[in-house]
Amino acid sequence: MYEGVSFIPLTWTDMLYLAPELALAAVFLLLVLLDLVMPGRVSRLSIGWLTLLGLLISLGLVLWRMLDMNRAGEAAETIELLANSYRIDDFASLLKIVFLTGTALTVLLALGSVRDDDAITEKGEFFYLLLPAVMGAMMMASSGNLVTLYIGLELLSLTSYVLVGMRRRSALSAEAAFKYVVTGGISSAFVLFGMSYIYGVTGSVDLTVIYSALPGALADFKALVYVGFFMMLAGFGMKIAAAPFHAWAPDVYQGAPTPVSAFLAVIAKGAALAVVFRMMFGAVYFARTDMEPDVSNDIFLALLAMSAAAMLVGTTAALRQKNVKRLLALSGVANSGYMLVPIGISITAVHSSSFSEFVYYLIAYLLMTIGAFAVLTAVSRAAGHDELKGFAGMYYRAPWTAAAMVIFVLSLAGLPVTGGFFGKLFILLGAANAKAYWLVAVIVVSSVISYYFYFGLVRQMFMRVGGTEQSIPVSPATGIVIWLCAIATVALGLFPGPLMSWIDAVFSLGQDLMFVVY
């Protein structure tokens, strides 16, 4: 049994390794104090710009550390802090880059929309609360320990609950916050319950010890291993809004401020998926022995079943949606399913590129989703609502914004030449190489179904006449987000190879996910 380890304090060198997280914490505390001392009549948008600066500083520190760890001609190192509770590796660094970039785009989007939203009374608080939220996501990506993982999960969750309810003068926002707190608490309980079982049968919360102890635990505690991992999968299924645990997503996305909806759709979802990835390949993969070879396969199969359900339920439920926020929420359910596929098909003799497929599609999903929410921000402000009919005649009222939305729709639908096309293609080919042909069929069918509601947006923009011919104003900050995302989405579609090659070059499955493939 696991006897524990002595407390290992952080050294100054360790603090340097944690510089990205500590920078965010320092900026957060500074902005809290600044918000308290600023006169009430002074605009809080300056806090938003300082929040964006803090995120960019943290992003620069992550990039610097990653380049330092992958110096030319040297094997990439993995840094273990606090007895492996916190890991600085390429797996975590790549995901931190995604999370920080997505949060920076979210803040920039909020700078273009929050000022005119009278329902948000505490505008400074709205910006700086995104910092602890993304810190939680970064902790989840770096966790090598179930306790650290849970702390990061709760830090992200608790701040997200507050952010969803930031429109204090809106009854819809209050309802969304209540539903999110309830479902979030239930999902956290499932995760913690599953963790307790895994700790009970292995005697450790350290993932490196867990994967070593799992084969022995199967002899006496096979049923408890099933319960532990299935409970954790159910909890994280709620966090990523994968069917059948997705019912909260449309209501919460609809009631939350649009930038917060974008944050939940990309960053919160990506952080939970990162944990699932590390857990499945760092622990579940080893739940097998010569006498009990099926436990690991059964858990991976359950993940694939959740993936297939998410793709089919998300696309079919979106067919009748007229509210664009709810439609994007259900689109996120389907995309959760796509991103679970490379995790669920595991490692085979002909398929070992799960991480590059996952990260590539996560980046494409970030760009097309935040871009779509940015366009929705401009349209809903002009129309006064989030309904699909607000896009009617958009081509004639804002032709360039409509062109950008077409790019996002093509990417969401998985059509050339966009990042979403190659993202889905890589995932589909990976499933085909793993001989999961039933999953290939589900991907194809769900993608075809999605064309109907995605192109419903295009139909509204180009083939419907709006109730007014007034142009749709786009604030400079919102316009920057729209076109950054649109250009990057097309660039990913035109040149997918360099990104995939770079991910494969820096990421090592054996070193970064704490095991050596048999």
Provide the strand spans (E) within 149-230. Answer: none
**The one-letter amino acid at 398:** A
Q: What is the pLDDT along the chain (518 residues), one digit of tens a residue?
A: 444 445 566 677 778 889 999 999 999 999 999 988 888 666 778 899 999 999 999 999 999 988 888 775 565 678 888 888 888 888 999 999 999 999 999 999 999 888 777 777 788 888 999 999 999 999 999 998 899 999 999 999 999 999 999 988 888 889 999 999 999 999 999 999 999 999 999 998 988 888 888 888 888 888 999 999 999 999 999 999 998 999 999 999 999 999 999 999 999 999 999 999 988 888 887 777 767 677 888 899 999 999 999 999 999 999 989 999 999 999 999 999 999 999 988 766 556 678 889 999 999 999 999 999 999 999 988 888 888 888 888 888 889 999 999 999 999 999 988 999 999 999 999 999 888 899 999 999 999 999 999 998 999 888 877 666 678 888 899 999 999 999 999 999 999 989 998 888 888 776 666 544 43
H helices of 287-386, where? 294-318, 324-344, 354-383
Cα–Cα distance between 388 and 264 in angstroms, integer? 21
**Angle at CA 290, nearest 5°, toward 288 and 291?**
90
Give SS3 for 145. Answer: strand
SS3 of 44-97: CHHHHHHHHHHHHHHHHHHHHHHHHHCCCCCCCCCEEECCCCEEECHHHHHHHH
**Angle at CA 214, nearest 5°, toward 208 and 220?**
155
What local confidence, expressed as pLDDT, does residue 207 receive?
Answer: 87
Cα–Cα distance between 396 and 398 in angstroms, integer? 6
Asked if residue 253 lies in contact with residue 329, where contact means CB atoms within 8 angstroms, the answer is yes
Note the pTM of the prediction, 2 decimals: 0.93
Give SS3 for 208. Answer: helix
What local confidence, expressed as pLDDT, does residue 386 receive?
Answer: 87
Picking from 33, 92, 253, 96, the residue whose alpha carbon sits closest to that of residue 160 is: 253
What local confidence, expressed as pLDDT, does residue 516 receive?
Answer: 44
What local confidence, expressed as pLDDT, does residue 120 receive?
Answer: 79
